Chains A and B, each alone.
Chain A
Amino acid sequence: NAGVMQNPRHLVRRRGQEARLRCSPMKGHSHVYWYRQLPEEGLKFMVYLQKENIIDESGMPKERFSAEFPKEGPSILRIQQVVRGDSAAYFCASSMTRQGGRSTEAFFGQGTRLTVV
């Protein structure tokens, strides 16, 4: 897990507040992925980004959730007007592009545990 940095590790928000989760990929990695793990469940894909572009957001809820990966700075997963059901562990992963276009194995950060009270 070394190299993919997520912060904060733990985040508590009241219902209706905004949550911002940050992810700095490993050096040299241009692909960033966000996953969510609900209690007692596996990891669910949310969104795949490359620098300044959203490649695949098929796993993102239609409302309140957004993600960005700006040219400079970390990737941000933003959840507006949080509800109790948003409580989960959110993991970021990064990978780089191999020759031939296929990305390498994804390496994960430690996750951000969001609790909505």
Chain B
Amino acid sequence: DQQVKQNSPSLSVQEGRISILNCDYTNSMFDYFLWYKKYPAEGPTFLISISSIKDKNEDGRFTVFLNKSAKHLSLHIVPSQPGDSAVYFCAASANNQGGKLIFGQGTELSVKP
């Protein structure tokens, strides 16, 4: 039962352009969403989060959009840089489950110079 889905296993983008990573979820109890970035042989690093009371959160080059009616969120990176190349995981949590995170399968982003 995959409650959080990232349907694109990989994405390739030119340096300077926008990267858009997508995530869908099925559990309507999820009310907090996070994006993590992961390099090989390292642990995930927190990037940005959004609460279900908002539809947008921005931090520098990173913006997360939430569409609750569609149960969809996306991460926009603009402008994309080669150092952004990594695997990006979407995660979700529900207030009644503490900080337990349910992760998507990840999308591998490659930013080409």
Name which residue of chain A comes closest to B42, CB basis: A110
Name which residue of chain B comes closest to A111, CB basis: B43
Contacts of B34 in A (CB 8 A): 105
How many interface contacts (CB-CB < 8 Å) are there between A and B? 66
Question: Is A48 within 8 A of B100, CB to CB?
Answer: yes
Question: Is B43 within 8 A of A91, CB to CB?
Answer: yes
Question: A103 on the interface (CB 8 Å rule)?
Answer: yes
Total contacting residues, chain B, CB less than 8 A? 23
Name which residue of chain A comes closest to B51, CB basis: A102
Question: A60 on the interface (CB 8 Å rule)?
Answer: no
Name which residue of chain A comes closest to B34, CB basis: A105
Interface size class of A (residues with CB under 8 A): 20 to 34
Contact of A56 among B36, B42, B43, B98 (CB under 8 A): B98
Residues 34-49 of chain A: 1 if any B CB is under 8 Å from the residue's CB, otherwise 0? 0100000111110010
Question: Is B45 within 8 A of A31, CB to CB?
Answer: no
Question: Is B42 within 8 A of A31, CB to CB?
Answer: no
Question: Is A102 within 8 A of B95, CB to CB?
Answer: yes
Q: How far is the CB of A98 from chain B (nearest CB, A)?
A: 10
Question: Is A42 within 8 A of B101, CB to CB?
Answer: no
| Residues A42 and B89 in contact in the complex (CB < 8 Å), given A1-B42, A4-B43, A91-B44 | yes
Residues 80-111 of chain A: 1 if any B CB is under 8 Å from the residue's CB, otherwise 0? 00000000000101010000001111111111
Residues of A within 8 A of B (CB): 1, 4, 6, 31, 33, 35, 41-45, 48, 55-56, 91, 93, 95, 102-111, 113
